Structures are given as C-alpha cells and as structure tokens.
Structure 1
Amino acid sequence: MTPEEQNAFEEKIYAYSGAQVCARTPAADAVNPAMIRHWTEVMGDNNPAYTNEEWSASSARGKTIAPAAMLYVWNQEGYTVTTGRASDPQTDMVELFNEYGFTGVLGTNVTQEYFREVSPGDTVHVEMVIDNLSERKSTARGPGYFFETLATFTDQNNEKIGTQRFRVLKFIPQEQPAAAAEEKLAVPSRIASPRGHDNGWWWDACDKGQVLIQRCKNCQTLRHPPRPMCGECQSMEWDSIESSLDGEVLSYTELHHPKIPGYQYPLICAVIKLREGTSIVSNVVGCEPSDIYIGMKLKGKVEQVDEKNTLPQFYPA
C-alpha cells in the first residue's frame, strides 16, 4: 500500500470513529432465573444470592440478583447470527478492512464496568458505538489497526447497569518464509496450552508425567482447572495431590471439521470425572468412537503426543 493509498484508506476507516453500531435496544428476554441458573452451573458459581430465593429473601436485597459478569449475556442474538448479521457501521467497517487486505482478526482484551445489579424481571437494554480506532501498528501478527467498541447497558428505567469495552485487532496476516514454513508444516504439533502464573505448575508436573489436582489447605476441597482461590471458602492457600487417573466419561464429542494440523483423527474430546471427584477435559484414545458411551470407565496415561507436547490421554479401562 502506497502512502497515498494508506491515507485514502485511513480517511475511510477513521470516519467510523464515534459511529453508532446500534441504538438503545431491549433484550429479547427479561432477566430470568433459568438463564442465571444455567450460567452459574457452567461457571461453578454457588453464590446463594444468584439462585437461592429463600436465602435471598432474607438478605439485604430481599431478592435474587444476576451475576454482574452476565452483563453482556442478555442481549446476545443467539442462533440467528448463523444466518448472517444485518449491516451496521461495525460490519461495514470490518468489510472495508477485509477489502484492503486486513483479513486477520484478533480480540485482544475486554473490560467491563459495573454500576448496579439487575434481578429477574428487569429488562437489559444495550447501545453500542465504535469508540476509537488506533493509528497503524506493527504487531507480531502483522501490520494492522486496533478498534474499540463501547457498549452501554441500561435497565427498563434507563438507569445505567454497566459498560463493556471490546478491543479488536484487524491485521494483514504475515507470510512465513517459504523454506521455514515448509519445514514447520512437515511435522505440525498441537496447539500449545498457555502457561501462566496460576497454571504453570500444573503443566510443569504434566511434563514430568504427573496429573496433579489442586487442593485447598483450609477446607481440603479439590478443584480443577487450577485457580488462585478456593470456590468454597475463598482461601488462597493450597497444595495438590496426584490423580490416580481412574475416571469415567461424563460427556464427549467427536470432532470432524475443521481438521486442525497436529491432531490425529478421529478426535474424541471428553469431560472425564476422575475418581478423586474433579473433572478434566481430555482425549479418549485406543478405541473406536462407536465404542464410547456415557459412564465408560477409563484409565489415563501421561504421554508425549507430539514433539512439543505432553498430555494426559485416556484409554478404556
């Protein structure tokens, strides 16, 4: 892109700064106990303020509330988005980026701010604007631009509930040097799991052939995946025990498409309940997909699955 072409392009995309993506729109459904229950079950959040009506009736609020982190849930469009989205300034801007070769997309961060709680019966409204666009940046992914949307949430009385800022990078994907790319693609490896402060110890143990389960030092509750605080007593003190890797299938799915380089197919991903009581997501191997069933007994092994990754895999017991 020549300097003149870049200037012309930037004049077009910067015109979207401040554009309204959607006017204030109510959610299709009011805040309701069923969605709150489903969300808290998936997140493992047992706060009685969310689902225990008897407990909440005697609390300072006098009623149940929705978790603040559900802020963005109520206005999601659901399955209808699979048939395409209606044109709006954000989709038009994204198409403009794509036309100029910025086809890569990466959500970089999201920030939510909460001002008040909502309870069953409230209706959440959302309005959204394209808040800002950055200057052209050179990133590890390729040259591109960051843009940030600002969603403001209000209730049926137009009182502010919270806001959400979502930042996205649109970039021109970098091409690998041909020789290096061919060499790397010859023996692809699995996607490596990120290792951070809270879970690095678990992966280090896995590299040594152990699957550890985090245990609260205060109340002895086991938890997985690793996290800094006990969900039962909120203690930050913990140690771990080694899993027997005896388990059974709670649920499973067979992945068919898209086939990701580095993975062997058929690929069975399962939620496996370990004998110790916690669950783990892993692969079931050593049998045909048609042989797997809910409740099937399994035995895990920590194995080298490719040149770079060591993972627990589960076989029929």
Structure 2
Amino acid sequence: MSDEADGLEARLRAYEGRPAAVAGVGRDPVNLPMIRHWCEAMGDANPAYTGADAIAPPTMLQAWIMRGLVTALEGSGGSSGQGGVGEGVGGRTGGRAAEYEELLGLLDAAGCTAVVATDCEQEYLRPLRPGDEVAFDTVIESVSGRKTTALGAGHFVTTRTDVRVAGELVGTHRFRILKYAPARRKPKERRPRPVINRDNAGFWEGVREHRLLIQRCTACDTLRFPWLPGCNACGAQEWDTVEASGEGAVFSYVVMHHPPFPAFSPPYAVGLIELAEGVRIVSDVVGVPYDKVRIGMPVRLEFRRYDEELVLPVFEGTVA
C-alpha cells in the first residue's frame, strides 16, 4: 500500500466515533395509522399490532427516525446525493453532522463518488407503542480499509443510531454503505441471480420445474408469500406447499425508466400481482405494452428462460 493510501485510511479512520447526526427527534410520534400502513404493505396480520394494546412492529424502528422526502430534499444535499445519514435519518431536529459531511467529501475527493447501501442491522430492547416520542443520535461507528468489490474499489462506512424514548434506549440501528469508485468495465449482460437460501430454496426448485409454489401453514392453513421460516399469522413453523393456479390480477405496478441496466430494456412494467389464491408476488408484466398495464388487469403466469441458468416466473397481461 502506498504512503498516500496509508495517509487516506488514517484520515478516514479518524472519523470513527464522531457524530453523524445529533439530537434528532422523530417527525411523528409512534402512531396506529403508520403501523397499519406498514402492516398492510408487509402483509403482516399479527394481532399484536392492532387494538388498544398495540405495539409497533420491531422492524419499523427505522421508519420513526427517517426525514421523509421533502425534508431530505430541503437538507444539505450532501455529497454523492445521499438523502440523510446513509438512508435518510434525521427527524424534526438534528440532521447530518458536519463531521459526516466532511467524511463523505473526503471520500468523494479520493474518487469514491458512487454510493450503494449494503446492509443494516437492528437491535430491539423494548417495543415501541403509540404515543412514544422517539429521539436519536448517530455516530460513525467504523470506516473500512480500501476494499475491492464487483462495483469498484472503495470504503464501507457504518453508522450506529441509538433510538431513545424519554431517555431510555429502546433500539439500535446500524446502517452500512459502500462509497466506491465505479469499476471501468462493461457489465455482463445477464440478469441478476436470485439469492437462494435455506428458507426459499424450495420455491426456486419449483420454478425450475415450472411450478409456482406457495407456502401453507399446516397449523392454521394460512397461505404466505414470499417464503418465510414461520407463519406470520399463528407463529407455527411447520408448513407444506400448494401450487398456484397461475391466474391473477395486477394489484399495483410501476414503470421502470431508470437506471438503465444492460440486461434490461426500459421502459418496462413491474407489477405487484395478486394471485387467485390471495397472496401477492412481484414480477414483470409481459405481453402488453408497458403503458397499457392497468390495476386490475388479468394476468396469467408463464415461465421464461433468460439464459442457460435462469428461469423466472413472469405474468402475461391481457388488454381489454
């Protein structure tokens, strides 16, 4: 490693432990309408999140501290076009600390002008309940040495946000980004590979056999998709599968125009498809012009092979 690179890493590491956001307060108290919207979007019918004794889903921790679109656009703007501390953290008060802006500027000056969010981790100490007013502080927890990735070489920056209610620590949110210099090479024109793990391997085995399999809880018969290790209705872990009929309708959709990607040809429609069985799946809507896709449009499942390895379920629309 060159003396120049050594010097840069030392300067970057000097920011560890310094603030990224200070004295932040959530834009809204914890409230039932936001909890309801979250649960509807996630398809989570857990009764703990409704009624007089409702709690907020633990994974909503980040939602209570995000700045929102308008305040993010009115903020400092920052380098690299990020909308907050990594992902938009910053409530009614608080916001990016000068130290965090300096760190991003230093990375920009080193050629790491691109950014991508890589992962987050959360810890929950007690449930949040409607009426709770959240406050938070964020620190720069770590800055990695120079790493080479498929996207390009750069540095991982991890921030830690401590969330409190009335001074009590209720949860911690760690967020990691990669600030990198984009690699100068032509990307391979292949669709991204699905991430297959022990929880969803059976689904992808079904796809290879041209079968769309839906999990069914053997304790309460609730169908669920995407695949999960346990039932979100009763909590049971035993399950079997049913094969989808292939009939469905467009529940919602977006038309993708940007960013361009060599394996795709925008504009194209991506739909949230409600299957006849009642569960929903995200997939391409094919067979009709993108500007003819409509909510409620009937669709029919088909399987398309994109290369020697990849088969994906898509849905062919029908224009009335």
Shorter-chain TM band: 0.7 to 0.9
Aligned-residue offset at 1:8: 2.5
Establish whether residue 158 from structure 1 lines up as the match of residue 167 from structure 2.
yes
Establish whether residue 76 from structure 1 lines up as the match of residue 76 from structure 2.
no
Q: Is the Cα–Cα contact under 8 Å of residues 189 and 308 in structure 1 kept in the other structure?
A: no
Aligned-residue offset at 1:241: 1.7
Q: Is the Cα–Cα contact under 8 Å of residues 65 and 117 in structure 1 kept in the other structure?
A: yes
Task: Give the alignment of 1:36-185 within 5 angstroms.
Answer: 36-53=35-52, 56=53, 64-80=54-70, 81-83=72-74, 84-85=77-78, 88-137=98-147, 142-155=152-165, 157-176=166-185, 181=186, 185=188
Residues 118 and 6 (structure 1), Cα distance of their counterparts in 2 relative to 1, 3 Å cut: same
Query: How far apart, in 1, do the equivalents of 2:306 and 2:246 lie?
Result: 17
- Per the alignment, residue 91 of structure 2 pairs with none
- Per the alignment, residue 4 of structure 2 pairs with 5
Q: TM-score, normalised by structure 2?
A: 0.84
* Structure exhibiting the larger radius of gyration computed from Cα positions: 1
Q: Is the Cα–Cα contact under 8 Å of residues 24 and 127 in structure 1 kept in the other structure?
A: yes
Query: How far apart, in 2, do the equivalents of 1:173 and 1:127 lie?
Result: 31
Residues 255 and 144 (structure 1), Cα distance of their counterparts in 2 relative to 1, 3 Å cut: closer
Give 5+ residue unaligned stretches, structure 1. 57-63
Amino acid at match of 2:272: V
Superposed CA RMSD in Å reads 2.3
Deviations, residues 263-297 of structure 1 (Å, cap 9, x unaligned): 23441111111112211111221122343322222
Aligned-residue offset at 1:259: 2.5
- Per the alignment, residue 213 of structure 1 pairs with 214
Per the alignment, in what secondary structure is the counterpart of residue 63 of structure 2? coil
- Per the alignment, residue 189 of structure 1 pairs with 190
Residues 134 and 294 (structure 1), Cα distance of their counterparts in 2 relative to 1, 3 Å cut: closer
Task: Give the alignment of 1:253-268 within 5 angstroms.
Answer: 253-268=254-269
Give 5+ residue unaligned stretches, structure 2. 79-95
Q: TM-score, normalised by structure 1?
A: 0.85
Aligned-residue offset at 1:175: 4.2
- Per the alignment, residue 59 of structure 1 pairs with none
Aligned-residue offset at 1:305: 3.3
Deviations, residues 81-113 of structure 1 (Å, cap 9, x unaligned): 235256632232122112112335444432222
Deviations, residues 219-271 of structure 1 (Å, cap 9, x unaligned): 22211111111112222122212211111111122212222221234411111
Aligned-residue offset at 1:151: 0.9
Aligned-residue offset at 1:137: 4.3
